[in-house]
């Protein structure tokens, strides 16, 4: 064993940075069971409450009977099933792009897209708060990684204007995963046109939640609500299927040439076993629910509004976010862990997010809302937080 591992783990522990995995016994939902105890959970990315929806479970079982449990090969050998193919067509049409490609995970999709489209002589312009997978992918691509301050399109423009690189790829989270705020997509597309760049839009947290029928950020006011040739020629749209869609996987939707290039060259697509077709089969059912259940999004937005009102008087502030990601900033990592633990004692799970996931000094409780939460759940959380905040001198 490397002799310094024990010491490093110990330091982590002392700084409140050692992570622990809770072992869940039942289904993912707003009530979860850990160590025989039931908790009200504000942890998951299952924003629409589809992860344990009976229709999806039934579709997964049906899919297993029809396709077996494993794909058995990569897509380019013979693992590409009818279910994958139908899902890709449905996703392309749902998001308004000519073509879509299913990946096993969002992490792999980002790796695949960025390394296939950018190389040594190219430049990647990345928002400072982008998801880790986008940063890792940029490093792996060997392109120049040029980061810009969070959502600062003026600073981005200066960097674009100064670049003489062959290809310019702007990369951003659509909804920022730890802050819940939204990228200025319209402005980013304008900059792409002005500086002959392309935009990789990671809508992991927007797909299913934002826009008309849950079609994602491009169909929301931030994306202009108007989908056109102009967007198709500049945007590579990526979203995950393990969050609001409730299942697993990810996809990229884009122009035909982009998707074909990914099929030919994206290593995270080529050199991996296709995901089980039963998942694609279940995802077709999930898409139906996303498209038809406006009530899930309506309810989610009512709950967000209620949470903001209820937490307003607290000494800790919610970050400005209109998405189901509602971060409550506590500050120090140790304090944040303590508040999170106190909530747990009261039967409520809210994750403490610390460095390196977020900048030091901005540790926060990341409250995630779901359409299957009830108003009473929000009131219960708010009450618990008020009680914890009232314990004087302990936090601050």
How many CA atoms within 13 Å lie on the side-chain side of 264?
Answer: 7
Binding segment toward ligand PLP, per CB under 6 A, in 20-28, 102-110, 229-237, 267-275: 102-110
Exactly one of 80, 205, 285, 297 binds ligand PLP (CB under 6 A); that residue is 205
* 242 interacts with ligand PLP by CB under 6 A: yes
* 105 interacts with ligand PLP by CB under 6 A: yes
**Residue 328 host element (H or E):** strand 325-331
State both tokens at 311. Answer: 């937490």
- Cα separation, 307 vs 326, whole angstroms: 9
* 204 interacts with ligand PLP by CB under 6 A: yes
Binding segment toward ligand PLP, per CB under 6 A, in 69-77, 105-113, 192-200, 224-232: 105-113
* 179 interacts with ligand PLP by CB under 6 A: no
Helical ranges in the chain per DSSP H: 5-14, 54-67, 82-95, 106-117, 132-141, 153-162, 185-194, 229-234, 256-265, 267-270, 277-292, 294-311, 333-345, 375-390
Distance of CA 333 to the CA centre of its chain: 23
Provide the minimum distance between the beta carbon of 20 and ligand PLP in the complex, in angstroms, as a whole number: 20
Say what the alpha-carbon torsion angle 273, 216, 115, 171 is, to the nearest 10 degrees: -160
- Cα separation, 324 vs 45, whole angstroms: 9
SS3 content of the chain, % helix, strand, coil (to 5): 45, 20, 40
Binding segment toward ligand PLP, per CB under 6 A, in 111-119, 198-206, 306-314, 338-346: 198-206
Complete DSSP assignment for 179-203: T--B--HHHHHHHHHHTT-EEEEE-
Provide the minimum distance between the beta carbon of 113 and ligand PLP in the complex, in angstroms, as a whole number: 11
Task: Tell me whether the omega of the peptide bond preceding residue 298 falls within 30 degrees of 0, making it cis.
Answer: no
Question: What contacts 93, CB < 8 A, 6 or more positions away?
Answer: none
| Contact status, residue 179 vs residue 321, Cβ threshold 8 Å | yes
Exactly one of 44, 141, 177, 362 binds ligand PLP (CB under 6 A); that residue is 177
* 106 interacts with ligand PLP by CB under 6 A: yes
Q: Which is nearer to ligand PLP, 178 or 381 (CB)?
A: 178
Binding segment toward ligand PLP, per CB under 6 A, in 77-85, 200-208, 258-266, 323-331: 200-208
Binding segment toward ligand PLP, per CB under 6 A, in 85-93, 106-114, 314-322, 374-382: 106-114
- Cα separation, 3 vs 170, whole angstroms: 41
Exactly one of 131, 168, 366, 373 binds ligand PLP (CB under 6 A); that residue is 131
Backbone angles phi, psi at 288, to 5 degrees: -60, -45
- Cα separation, 206 vs 324, whole angstroms: 9
Place of tokens 């880790």: 132
* Active-site annotation holds for 205: yes
- Cα separation, 94 vs 107, whole angstroms: 22
Q: Which is nearer to ligand PLP, 83 or 252 (CB)?
A: 252
Q: Which is nearer to ligand PLP, 75 or 338 (CB)?
A: 75
Provide the minimum distance between the beta carbon of 109 and ligand PLP in the complex, in angstroms, as a whole number: 7
How many CA atoms within 13 Å lie on the side-chain side of 175?
Answer: 28
The residue annotated as part of the active site, out of 53, 131, 168, 205, is 205
Provide the minimum distance between the beta carbon of 134 and ligand PLP in the complex, in angstroms, as a whole number: 7
* 268 interacts with ligand PLP by CB under 6 A: no
Pattern of binders to ligand PLP over 206-225, x per CB under 6 A?
--------------------
* Active-site annotation holds for 213: no
Place of tokens 């004692």: 345
* 143 interacts with ligand PLP by CB under 6 A: no
* 133 interacts with ligand PLP by CB under 6 A: yes
Exactly one of 250, 262, 339, 381 binds ligand PLP (CB under 6 A); that residue is 250
Provide the minimum distance between the beta carbon of 47 and ligand PLP in the complex, in angstroms, as a whole number: 12
* Active-site annotation holds for 104: no
Provide the minimum distance between the beta carbon of 369 and ligand PLP in the complex, in angstroms, as a whole number: 16
CB atoms within 10 A of CB 258: 24
Provide the minimum distance between the beta carbon of 204 and ligand PLP in the complex, in angstroms, as a whole number: 3
Q: Which is nearer to ligand PLP, 106 or 277 (CB)?
A: 106
Question: Catalytic residue numbers?
Answer: 177, 205, 243
Residues that bind ligand PLP (CB under 6 A): 105-107, 110, 131, 133, 173, 177, 202, 204-205, 240, 242, 250
């Amino acid at each position: 064993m490397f002799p310094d591992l024990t010491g490093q783990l110990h330091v982590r522990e002392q700084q409140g940075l050692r992570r622990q995995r809770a072992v869940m016994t039942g289904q993912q939902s707003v009530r979860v069971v850990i160590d025989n105890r039931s908790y009200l959970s504000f942890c998951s990315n299952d924003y629409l409450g589809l992860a344990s929806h009976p229709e999806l479970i039934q579709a997964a079982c049906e899919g297993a009977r029809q396709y077996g449990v494993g794909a058995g090969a990569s897509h380019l050998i013979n693992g590409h099933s009818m279910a994958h193919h139908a899902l890709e067509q449905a996703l392309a049409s749902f998001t308004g792009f000519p073509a879509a490609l299913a990946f096993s995970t969002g992490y792999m999709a980002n790796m695949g897209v960025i390394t296939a489209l950018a190389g040594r002589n190219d430049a990647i312009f990345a928002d400072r708060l982008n998801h880790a997978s986008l940063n890792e992918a940029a490093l792996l691509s060997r392109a120049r990684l040029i980061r810009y301050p969070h959502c600062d399109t003026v600073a981005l423009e200066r960097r674009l204007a100064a670049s003489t690189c062959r290809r310019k790829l702007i990369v951003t989270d659509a909804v920022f995963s730890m802050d819940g705020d939204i990228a200025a997509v319209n402005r980013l597309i304008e900059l792409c046109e002005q500086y002959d760049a392309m935009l990789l839009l990671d809508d992991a947290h927007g797909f299913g939640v934002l826009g008309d029928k849950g079609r994602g950020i491009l169909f929301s006011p931030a994306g202009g609500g108007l989908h056109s040739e102009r967007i198709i020629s500049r945007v590579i749209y990526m979203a995950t299927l393990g969050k609001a869609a409730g299942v697993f996987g990810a996809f990229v939707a884009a122009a035909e040439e982009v998707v074909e290039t990914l099929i030919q060259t994206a290593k995270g697509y080529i050199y991996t076993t296709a995901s089980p077709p039963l998942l694609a089969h279940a995802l077709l059912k999930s898409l139906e629910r996303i498209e038809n259940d406006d009530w899930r999004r309506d309810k989610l937005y009512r709950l967000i509004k209620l949470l903001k009102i209820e937490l307003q008087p607290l000494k800790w502030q919610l970050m400005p976010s209109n998405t189901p990601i509602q971060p409550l900033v506590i500050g120090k990592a140790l304090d944040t862990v303590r508040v999170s633990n106190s909530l747990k004692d009261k039967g409520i799970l809210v994750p403490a997010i610390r460095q390196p996931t977020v900048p030091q000094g901005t540790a926060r409780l990341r409250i995630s809302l779901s359409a299957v939460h009830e108003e009473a759940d929000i009131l219960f959380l708010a009450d618990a937080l008020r009680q914890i905040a009232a314990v004087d001198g302990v936090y601050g």
